Amino acid sequence: MILLLLKKCEEQKSVDFLPSYAEDYNSTFSYHELKDALRKSNPTSPGPDQIHNNMLIHLGESLLTILLLFNRIWQGRVFPLSWLKAIVVPIPKPGKDKQDPNNYRPIALTSCLSKLLERMVSARLHVLERSKWFVPFQSGFRRRRNTIENLLKLETAIREAFMRKKRLVSIFFDIEKAYDRTFRYGILKDLSDIGLKRNLSLFIKLSTDKNLPNSHW
């Protein structure tokens, strides 16, 4: 209860994303960035708008219209509400009782246009990784990093503790529905505190303000 009260108090404070200076990562997107993101896109199922990546790949010069749309969204700091809609497909967990609704994993099919722009934004975030804002032990959602590295570090620490005849304390925890329960305000505050401003941070804020309204099964 105390944590919830603290959370509510924190969320009353505004987060400043609008400094007076410009940053390279907030500049308009280039045609090269769009083509590169499209090249790396997977042939996933379309969202409610029924626009899939194969359609976008074969647009040719019409992609310039998509680029214009993306830059208007980026510079105007708005997020289309239709992109927050999703088709939710329940996927049964292997070896589980299919009669139990809790044994299904929901997969949200969102707009491929939205995912394409998100991929372009993500590419800029990966460039910012060079600034060493991430703690060295974080492996999730980072290129060329995986949990094996963390396991090896843990194993090394355990062996060293045995050799030195010392105790080693480790904490493991798994958060149920972690994404749904993410403290979004805290993430946005951290982005502001480390210096991420304007378009990039506001895009993340706008894209997470609403949790997929009008989703259907």
Domains of the chain, by residue range, sit at: 23-131+173-208, 135-167
pLDDT at 208 over 80: no
Q: Are 7 and 181 in contact (CB under 8 A)?
A: no
Distance, CA of 107 to CA of 88 (rounded, Å): 5
pLDDT-derived band at 136, boundaries 50, 70, 90: confident
Q: Residue 213: its pLDDT value, please? A: 45
pLDDT above 90: percentage of residues in the chain: 22
- Cα separations (Å) of 215 from 30, 42, 103, 167, 203? 32, 22, 19, 49, 21
pLDDT-derived band at 73, boundaries 50, 70, 90: very high
Residue 17: how many other CB atoms lie within 10 Å: 19
Coil, helix or strand for 198? helix
Q: Which residues pair with 174 in a beta bridge?
A: none
β strands within the chain, DSSP E:
87-92, 104-109
- At residue 105, what are phi and psi to the nearest 5 degrees? -105, 115
Q: Residue 82: its pLDDT value, please? A: 86
DSSP 136: T
Contacts of residue 73, defined as CB under 8 A and 6 or more positions apart, other chains included, come to 79, 80, 117, 203
Distance, CA of 208 to CA of 196 (rounded, Å): 16
Distance, CA of 67 to CA of 116 (rounded, Å): 11
Structure-token match 């503790």, residue found: 161
pLDDT at 41 over 60: yes
pLDDT at 203 over 50: yes
pLDDT-derived band at 31, boundaries 50, 70, 90: very high
Query: Is the model's pTM score more than 0.85?
Result: no
Q: Which of 123, 108, 121, 119 is nearest to 46 (CA)?
A: 108
